[in-house]
Amino acid sequence: MIDQADHLWKGDLAVTGLGLVTPVGLSAAPSLAALRAGVSRLEALPGTSIAVGENEQEPIIGARVSALTDGLLGQPRLKALMQPALEDCLIDCAASADQRIGVFLGTSGSSPANRHLQYDDAVKQNLLDCIPDTLNLTYARLIHTGRASVLGSIRDAAVALAEGIIDIALVGAADSWVTPRALNWLRQKGRLPEYPRHTGNLPAEAGGFVALETSKAAVQRGARTYAKVTASAGATENSAWGEANNGVALAHAIRGVAKGVADSHALVISDLDGERYRAMEWVMAQPKSMWYSETHEHWNPADCIGDSGASMGAIMLAWGSAALFKGYARTERVLVWGASDEGAREAIMLESAGVHN
């Protein structure tokens, strides 16, 4: 069911595949094990420098997938992140040649934060190059809402699955904030923790995909189900990027998926990345949107692997699904939320499939 006015969907989609390439692992299993253990790959990025005191310079702190991306820039770098993450997900979900595949790829858009990138054609070609010839790619769509794009794409995937256009939906992205051009832009816009500020973005890069299908289809083909997506909601924050806001849009999205939840332990996974205005937005949104719980945990992948932009949604979905599947979430539901610089606010509810490994 989708309410177009509120951008709200409720239903039952099975998460049947995970694929990741991150600074802490070149596939989903090691990446998620490292996140669970709190392993950090944040480091001083070579060849960079910002002011950390009145007369003191230090390198920018961030995270790279150095084994795959050394010497690569632009679209070749993103393709190097996308291809193994997509392959990892396809192998994990055991997609077959007779199944119709739909890909919903999150991107930063053609003009994010007033930067004129115009990368869409190259991104589309990268995606086509990464899909094996043996698979039946039936549908593909770019979702242009940056860091929130993967979470927002779930509603589009749900429609395509419900209408029988595709059998399996792959939602994901590949993004990098550690190229010279990206780092220069972050510094110019004051988004790095440069003196006299003490907060800022931890730039990183990653690729990630999650496979979704209807729960009925997953059961029929005997697919492993990590978790279920039972609700998705989105809203738009109209405050200018970087300005403090009252958290109403984020609260609206979270309320949409959290209505009726009364779990005693609340687990939240978000893409908070070290920027003060984003932390303050969560502080404002939480009391307006969250249910009362006796205990509360908030996981942030950026604490270990930095902010990888559009790919953050896939990382969070994969981590929440794995935590439910393996039982270390300590609850039967995980709230996942994300926020883009351009205003999109997205929330997802993941629920246990009922089997813990």
- 7 within some domain: no
Same domain for 182 and 234:
no
Residue pLDDT tens, the chain, 357 long: 444 435 899 999 999 999 999 999 999 999 999 999 999 999 999 999 998 888 899 999 999 998 899 999 988 999 999 999 999 999 999 999 999 999 999 987 555 555 555 567 788 888 888 988 889 999 999 998 999 999 999 999 999 999 999 999 999 999 999 999 899 989 988 899 998 888 999 999 999 999 999 999 999 999 999 999 999 999 999 987 778 789 999 999 999 999 999 999 999 999 999 999 999 999 999 999 999 999 999 999 999 999 999 999 999 999 999 999 999 999 999 999 999 988 999 999 999 998 655
- Rounded Cα distance, 192 and 194, in Å: 5
| Number of structural domains the chain divides into | 2
Residue 3 lies in a domain: no
Q: Which residues contact 222 (CB under 8 A, 6 or more apart)?
A: none
Which range of residues forms the domain containing residue 157?
Answer: 14-220
Side-chain-side CA neighbours of residue 149 (13 Å): 29
Distance of alpha carbon 354 from alpha carbon 226, whole angstroms: 9
- Inside any domain, residue 292: yes
End residue of a domain, out of 220, 240, 262: 220
Tell which of 201, 220, 239 closes a domain.
220
In whole angstroms, give the CA distance from residue 267 to residue 289: 14
The pTM (predicted TM-score) of the whole model is 0.95
Q: Say which CATH number the domain at 210 has.
A: 3.40.47.10
Is the residue at 1 inside a domain?
no
End-to-end CA distance of the chain: 31
3 sits in which H/E element: strand 2-3
* Spatial separation of the C-alpha atoms in residues 177 and 217, rounded to whole Å: 37
Residues 184, 113: one domain?
yes
| Tokens encoding 74 | 């632009």
Residue 8 included in any domain:
no
By the 8 A CB rule, do 11 and 309 touch? no
Note whether residue 143 is domain-resident: yes
Tell me the backbone φ, ψ of residue 47, rounded to 5 degrees.
Answer: 75, 15
Whether 5 is in a domain gets the answer no
Ramachandran class of 123: left when φ > 0, alpha when ψ lies in -120 to 50, beta otherwise: alpha
